[in-house]
Amino acid sequence: MKAFLKTRPEPGGVEYLDWKMPEKERGDVLVQVKAAGICGTDMHIYHWSDNIVQEYKPKLPLVMGHEFAGVVVEVGSNVKDLKVGDRVTAMPILYCGECFYCKDGKQNICDHRPLLGLGVDGVFAEFVSLRSSNVYRLDGGVSFELGALSELTSVGLHAIDRARLKGGETVAVVGAGPLGLMLTILAKHAGAARVFTTGLEADRGRLEIAKRIGATAVFVEREDAKQQILEFTGGLEADVVFESAGTAAGVIQSLNLVRKGGRVGILGQGHEVAAIPTAMLSFREIELVGTRAYTPKDWKRVSAMLLNCKDDLMKMITHCLPLHMAEKGIQLMESREGLKVILLPQEP
């Protein structure tokens, strides 16, 4: 089969190759990949970023990618709940199921959690094999391109739950990347009274998409997000703020936008040190909530959410490219020209 691999431990260091078909165990399914999304994590592995290398210790050569949708083409002898022809996606965290956190329903912070495309071969390929317990069916109304957004949607669903977002609340999303736009969409569909999405001048195209989704776009280099939220809320500020930028400045901005007693969800996984005035957390009783990835509970409802948010989610997909152009897709996302780039392994 054809696959896109990280082959060298250096920035770039990728190749589009003929590669071995994945092996299938008795509890696995073999899936023909129909669409795969490029994620920020893929960009980090592409650049061989120290933080990613230290966290996942990837062994090369490695098929990249972990966001996808496809069709089951083979099932192992122990698989009972999936069949050939099923349209599916999959939770790419291969949690152990045995540690304290897995047994507590927190598989996202499992002690042993290899990830497709980082710890094991991923989905930037024509086929992928993985255990059936991680595979979830997609509704027939979900296109493969939309299905490739399942992983990012699950990240957003988990964050919405962690922050206990309720209908009628005011939400601010700090950062206008794919994660920020996903949170914008899900907050809107969760019944937020209004969503403010902040970004830089370089994010103009992405903020225009936020406007089309129904958010109030704020260019932080020339507009005062705090003042706009104060005016809308009668001086209260946002009930919930999601930090998706992954920067120290984004964390500080989030704390400045949330009301007393409000909640701040930290999703950006930034590695910069943020000097947080802890007195602010205490005096204003702000809840600072860390949120990472997702659990099977989130994946069980992802197909329905994709259908419910279909029109808005499709606005996020800016490019569909053949798999051999994966490196070009990464470059499009880095330049901010691409918001969500989808790779299509099954070329005509």
Which CATH fold would you assign to the domain 164-290?
Rossmann fold (3.40.50)
User: Hey, how many other C-beta atoms are within 10 angstroms of the C-beta on 224?
Assistant: 11
- Active-site annotation holds for 247: no
Integer Cα distance of 241 and 154 in angstroms: 18
pLDDT for 347: 67
Rounded to whole angstroms, the Cα distance separating 190 from 171 reads 11
Q: Which fold has domain 2-153+294-344?
A: Quinone Oxidoreductase; Chain A, domain 1 (3.90.180)
Low-confidence residues in the chain, pLDDT < 70: 347-348
Question: 2-153+294-344 with 164-290: one CATH topology?
Answer: no
| Per-residue pLDDT at 273 | 85
- Cβ atoms of 266 and 289 within 8 Å: the answer is yes
pLDDT digits (tens, 9 = 90+) for 149-192: 999 999 999 999 999 999 999 999 999 999 999 999 999 999 99
> Is 44 a known active-site residue?
yes
- pLDDT in the model for residue 52: 87
pLDDT value at residue 348:
54
Q: Which of 41, 89, 198, 216 is catalytic?
A: 41
Q: What gap in Å lies between CA 31 and CA 27, rounded to an integer?
A: 13
Query: What residue spans define the domains of the chain?
Result: 2-153+294-344, 164-290
Task: Select which of 7, 44, 170, 198 is catalytic.
Answer: 44
